[in-house]
């Protein structure tokens, strides 16, 4: 069955070129030219969104959470902005990946394939993970810590899940990049540090008396024993 991708891009020529590229590679493509239109078009049929940041009316970062709330599918941000602060902002808002214009078609298609594979990998047989006072549900995409719900972004959730799945070992930075971001060049030390810091803060808010994540300097991170 064909996967459906929603292209949110106000430049008509770029939107058309993306649509042709996707359809030639076996996808069904839908187009939206503004943030408001994207929210209206997004629905049950959509499996992934390509979201440009510079849109008329509501910008991409303004509608990102609205799109996720309507149906939580992978969102790949497409932007001419290459600075790390902008990337971190998008990840914190719930973006699943980030590609900078101009990009190679092969890279975009590879990222789409990887995100669709990750987004459909959930299996109802997957068991909940527990560590100390944390309970993580990979299928329900929920985390409870000391009995309280922890509201995590997609990358924070994936990061915590990876650490909990490997609670008895150190997760190296390269391992985290590969597993959480899929492509090592889509994240760097600053991005990882920001996500670790936010994750620690959210767990601390739920359980002030416990430390859960420790840094192994120069190597990576692990769950604190």
The CATH topology of domain 129-223 is: Arc Repressor Mutant, subunit A (1.10.10)
Give residue 122's pLDDT band: very low, low, confident or very high (50, 70, 90).
Answer: very low
| Topology agreement, domain 4-119 and domain 129-223 | no
Contact by Cβ (8 Å): 125, 210: no
pLDDT at position 51, please? 94
Q: Does domain 4-119 match CATH 3.40.50.2300? A: yes
For the chain, the domains span: 4-119, 129-223
Contact by Cβ (8 Å): 191, 91: yes
HEC states along 150-195? Answer: CCCCHHHHHHHHHHHHCCCCCEEHHHHHHHHHCCHHHCCHHHHHHH
Q: Is the pLDDT of residue 4 over 50?
A: yes
Q: Which residue has the tokens 């959480």?
A: 180
Tell me the pLDDT tens digit for each residue of 32-65. 999 899 999 998 899 999 999 888 887 777 888 8
The alpha carbons of the chain give a radius of gyration, in whole angstroms, of: 18
Minimum mean pLDDT range among 71-80, 82-91, 170-179, 192-201: 82-91
Q: Average pLDDT, stretch 2-21?
A: 94
């Amino acid at each position: 069955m064909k996967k459906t991708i929603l292209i949110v891009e106000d430049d008509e020529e770029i939107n058309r070129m993306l649509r042709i590229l996707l359809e030639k590679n076996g996808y069904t493509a839908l187009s939206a030219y503004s943030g408001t239109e994207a929210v209206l078009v997004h629905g049950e049929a959509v499996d992934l969104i390509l979201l440009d940041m510079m849109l008329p009316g509501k910008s991409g970062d303004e509608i990102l959470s609205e799109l996720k709330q309507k149906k939580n599918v992978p969102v790949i941000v497409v932007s001419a902005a290459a600075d790390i602060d902008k990337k971190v902002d998008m990840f914190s808002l719930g973006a699943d990946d980030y590609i900078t214009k101009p990009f190679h078609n092969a890279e975009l298609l590879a990222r789409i394939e990887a995100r669709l594979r990750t987004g459909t990998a959930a299996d109802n047989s997957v068991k909940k993970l527990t560590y100390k006072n944390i309970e993580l549900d990979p299928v329900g995409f929920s985390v409870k810590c000391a009995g309280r719900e922890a509201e995590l972004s997609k990358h924070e959730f994936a990061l915590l899940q990876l650490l909990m799945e490997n609670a008895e070992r150190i997760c190296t930075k390269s391992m985290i990049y590969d597993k959480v971001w899929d492509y090592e060049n889509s994240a760097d030390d600053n991005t990882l540090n920001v996500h670790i810091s936010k994750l620690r803060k959210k767990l601390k808010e739920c359980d002030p008396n416990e430390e859960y994540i420790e840094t192994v300097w120069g190597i990576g991170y692990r769950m604190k024993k």
